């Protein structure tokens, strides 16, 4: 157990702080939401490694620093309604739901959604709605959100996501094609005005059925 705590401490000090994650409440949260509970059993030893962890079905857990940075950039409050596109292991869902008012988490693979529910059961969160379906092109038929996170990349960012933000709402998306993608934070500052900040370069697997650029056809 001592080793596990040491590994968690090292992850925070050596991976997460250097990635400019310095907000006290985020660092505290990373101590309490136990990442090892969300990693597939045979990969427990990798729970705190600076790498993606495959979950099967073509999905992977992000690197810890990307998860932490995302949560910090969204500046969540208890009034926020969040949409998470791609539940995966449920770890990011656990972090988001600890800070936000409500999280709707949509996963296209039913087996992953079931696994995430099981992983989160120990946390007794009553502010998460799990949905199964394809949210690569939006979700909720006109529902608007205060924060949206896409946990897979998208070569082209569909407009529907920024249009689903309330004024003041934030969208975290990783946009582009491998090997270099840009993690972006898009804020709806007024009904017709959006501000985009590039957070960091990274590379993660695309959402299933992600929108593709119009490629030239001859």
Nearest by Cα to 85 from 161, 150, 146, 139: 150
| Across 188-216, average pLDDT | 91
**Quick check: 141 pLDDT over 90?**
no
Between CA 200 and CA 18 the distance in angstroms is 13
The per-residue pLDDT for range 149-200, each reduced to its tens digit, is 999 999 999 999 999 999 999 999 999 999 989 999 999 999 999 999 999 9
Instruction: Please measure the distance between the N-terminal and C-terminal CA atoms of the chain and give it in whole angstroms.
Output: 61
- Residues above pLDDT 90, as percent of the chain: 90
Ordered domains of the chain (ranges, CATH): 2-202 (3.40.50.150)
**Quick check: 102 pLDDT over 80?**
yes
Between CA 172 and CA 123 the distance in angstroms is 25
| Across 108-120, average pLDDT | 97
Between CA 92 and CA 83 the distance in angstroms is 12
Contact 206, 191 (CB under 8 A): no
Distance of CA 114 to the CA centre of its chain: 17
Record the pTM: 0.95
**Quick check: 217 pLDDT over 80?**
no
Which pLDDT score is estimated for 139?
Answer: 95
């Amino acid at each position: 157990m001592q080793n596990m705590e040491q590994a968690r401490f090292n992850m925070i000090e050596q991976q997460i702080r250097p990635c400019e994650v310095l907000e006290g409440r985020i660092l505290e949260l990373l101590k309490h939401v136990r990442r090892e509970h969300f990693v597939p059993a045979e990969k427990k030893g990798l729970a705190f490694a600076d790498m993606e962890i495959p979950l099967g079905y073509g999905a992977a857990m992000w690197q810890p620093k990307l998860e932490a940075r995302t949560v910090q950039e969204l500046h969540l409050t208890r009034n926020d309604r969040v949409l998470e596109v791609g539940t995966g292991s449920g770890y990011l869902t656990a972090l988001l739901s600890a800070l936000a008012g409500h999280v709707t988490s949509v996963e296209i693979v039913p087996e992953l959604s079931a696994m995430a529910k099981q992983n989160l059961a120990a946390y007794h969160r009553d502010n998460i709605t799990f949905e199964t379906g394809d949210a690569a092109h939006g979700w909720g038929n006109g529902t608007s959100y205060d924060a949206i996170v896409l946990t897979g990349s998208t070569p082209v960012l569909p407009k529907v996501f920024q249009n689903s933000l309330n004024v003041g709402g934030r969208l975290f998306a990783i946009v582009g094609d491998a090997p270099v993608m840009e993690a972006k934070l898009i804020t709806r500052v007024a009904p017709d005005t959006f501000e985009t900040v590039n957070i960091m370069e990274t590379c993660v697997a695309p959402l299933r059925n992600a929108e593709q650029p119009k490629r030239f056809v001859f």
